[in-house]
Structure formats: structure tokens, C-alpha cells
């Protein structure tokens, strides 16, 4: 993989539940992380005293975060609605030259900030809320 533009890492939201995804407007920074818990099955019989892990047994999670400025009334409104209604709509994360991660996420936090001589900004965090799919590009 060659160097990529950070602006090409996109977070998209299914605005109406019909599978049509729109980029969340105004984002300047985005991040996605994956995690899998481990299940330790080490015993006195473990070879050489090395820890053993049970393959495929841990809970998998993904988290998305982003920050930016207000730019688009539609996606801003939808993000607020998702948070206050506790919805878990489908999101897509486009990772350039890698693939697309898609599935349900819950908006776990949304923060708004602003200073008297700057733009209003926001930060959001999402937590996976079900099985995710990955499609290679």
C-alpha cells in the first residue's frame, strides 16, 4: 500500500435506511479501530509455560471517531437524531486502497465546541453494534 491522503478515509451514514450512504459532511479527521478480546486457556500442560489463547473466542469490536466543522444541515441533524433516539443505523468506512467496512454502529458520544473567534466544531464517537462486513477494494 502506498501513502494515502487522509481526506480519503470517509465515514458514511445510511441516512434513511435504504442503503444509500452519504459522507458525514465537515469531518476533518477520522479514525477506525478494531479490537478482539482474548480468551486465555493456559494450563499447567501448556508447552514451555507459554500462554495459550482460544482461537476465535473473544468478542470483536470496532470503534469510529471523527471531528470536524458544521457544514451540512442534513448529516448534522441525522447524527443528533441517532444519538438522542439511541438508533444503530448502518455506517460505512471507506479505507483508501484497502476496503470498505460496513455495519451497525451506535453513536456513543457527540461533543460540540466553539470559541468566539473560530468556527463551531464537533467530535463524534461510534461503537459497533452488530456484525460488520468487509469488502476489499
pLDDT value of position 82: 92
Considering the entire predicted model, what is its pTM?
0.85
Give CA–CA dist 31/63, Å, rounded. 8
Render pLDDT for 44-103 as a digit per residue (tens, 0 to 9). 999 999 999 999 999 999 999 999 987 788 888 888 999 999 999 999 999 988 999 999
Domain boundary assignment for the chain: 6-136
CA 81 to chain centre: 18
Torsion of the alpha carbons at 55, 61, 67 and 72, rounded to the nearest 10: 130
- Which CATH entry fits the domain spanning 6-136: 2.10.25, 2.40.10, 3.30.300, 2.30.110? 2.30.110
Amino acid at each position: 500500500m502506498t501513502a494515502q491522503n487522509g481526506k480519503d478515509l470517509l465515514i458514511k451514514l445510511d441516512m434513511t435506511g435504504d442503503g444509500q450512504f452519504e459522507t458525514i459532511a465537515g469531518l476533518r479527521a477520522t479514525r477506525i479501530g478494531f479490537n478482539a478480546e482474548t480468551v486465555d486457556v493456559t494450563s499447567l500442560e501448556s508447552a514451555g509455560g507459554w500462554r495459550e489463547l482460544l482461537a476465535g473466542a473473544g468478542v470483536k469490536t470496532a470503534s469510529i471517531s471523527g471531528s470536524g466543522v458544521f457544514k451540512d444541515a442534513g448529516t448534522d441533524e441525522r447524527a443528533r437524531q441517532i444519538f438522542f433516539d439511541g438508533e444503530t443505523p448502518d455506517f460505512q468506512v471507506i479505507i483508501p486502497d484497502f476496503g470498505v467496512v460496513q455495519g451497525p454502529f451506535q453513536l456513543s458520544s457527540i461533543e460540540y465546541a466553539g470559541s468566539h473567534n473560530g468556527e463551531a466544531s464537533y467530535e463524534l464517537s461510534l461503537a459497533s453494534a452488530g456484525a460488520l462486513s468487509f469488502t476489499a477494494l
